[in-house]
Every structure is written in C-alpha cells, then in structure tokens.
Amino acid sequence: EDKVVQSPLSLVVHEGDTVTLNCSYEVTNFRSLLWYKQEKKAPTFLFMLTSSGIEKKSGRLSSILDKKELFSILNITATQTGDSAVYLCAVRDYGQNFVFGPGTRLSVLP
Amino acid sequence: DTEVTQTPKHLVMGMTNKKSLKCEQHMGHRAMYWYKQKAKKPPELMFVYSYEKLSINESVPSRFSPECPNSSLLNLHLHALQPEDSALYLCASSQPRQEVGELFFGEGSRLTVL
C-alpha cells in the first residue's frame, strides 16, 4: 500500500528561525512529489518535484527530492508568523492517485 | 482566487435531508476529485473521475453519490448522512494520467450533519 510519512508532526519556532520539514514515501510507480501549505481552508500548491537533486525555490522556501532514498525536504528560512500552517506532502503515481502524508503543523511565534 | 469553485461554502443538514455539493473548474482538466478532510487530518480521497468516468471509488458509503455531468462539473449528492460525516469536503482537479501536474483545490464545502 502506498504510504507517505512526514516529520516532525508538529514544530514550534520563533520568527527568523530556519526550519526543515521531512517527507518520506513508499509509492509504486512514483510520478511526482508535491508540497502544499494549508491554513484555514484548502491546501495551496507550493512545489512539484519530479527529478532527483534539482532544488525548487520560491522566495524563502525551497525543496529538493532524493528519488534513490525516497524522501524530500522543505526548507523555510527566516520564518515569519505568516508561515504558520500545516505543510502537506503528497505523492502522485502514474494513475490519478495523490497520496497525502499526515502533515507537519508549523507554528511561528513572534 | 481559486480556479476551482465550490458551492456552498457551508452546509448544515439533518440526517434525513438530501443535499448536493457542487464543483466547477475551467482549466481544461480532465481529472476531478472529491476529498474528505476531518480536523487535523490530511485530505482523504473519496472519488476520482477521469474523462468524466468514475475511475477510483475508495470504498465510500453509498450515502455519498458522485456525479460528473461534463468535463467542468463535479457534484457530490448527499443522502441520509451521519454526524460523523461532518467534515470539509474538498474538490480538486488535475491533468489526467498522461501528464505531470499538480492538484488544484477548491476552497472546500464545510458540512455539518446534525
């Protein structure tokens, strides 16, 4: 059965800190790995990774995929209170299926 | 602004009511999804339509009935629900299996069953 694991499940930091969120997976016929940010409503898309070793970057957020070791990390530098959210990792197979991990709940304190 | 539109945003219904959730997208996506999300849990897949045909049904109880009238619309018909069905129902769309693409979510319909 396809499985996505995230760690830590919960994290509390102060503004300005750097955080690393982890996602590991066991998926048959891996196609892509996606990161989403969820505040109070629907998840919003951050990154999609398909190739190993290529870093995706958007402002203070960056992510990289290791297909050999079956994991990805999401880095957030100089955290702000607006980064407080649940960060979801999802993996897509070659069908229509997107499997979500449990999420990491990040709280950034002022 | 989300490109996947869901209505209603909030719905309160009794256990004997019949209601429907609606979803619309105009991105030309040919795969559409219903997810259920309980508080502090990740989205849980319910149904997937691919090219307007039901392709995945994750053993969802028959009191939930999906319908895909055309490539832009997705409905979820609700009948005789239980209080434990109260949750955020998320519609999403993506490119079908031949293409790599992300899942675009609507803002969700928050359902309360009394």
Cα→Cα distances B109→A42, B8, B42, B90, Å:
10, 6, 16, 7
Model confidence over B58-109: pLDDT tens digits? 889 999 999 999 999 999 999 999 999 999 999 999 987 656 678 999 999 9
Cα Rg, chain A, nearest whole Å: 13
Model confidence over B21-42: pLDDT tens digits? 999 998 889 999 999 999 989 9
**Residue A104 above 60 pLDDT?**
yes
- Tell me what the pLDDT averaged over chain A comes to: 93
**Residue B11 above 90 pLDDT?**
yes
Find the helix or strand (DSSP H, E) in which A35 lies: strand A30-38
- Judge whether A61 and A79 are in contact, CB under 8 Å: no
Interface of A with B in 70-89 (CB under 8 A): 88
Return the percentage of chain A with pLDDT > 90, whole number.
76
| Minimal CA separation from B114 to chain A, in Å | 22
| Minimal CA separation from B79 to chain A, in Å | 24
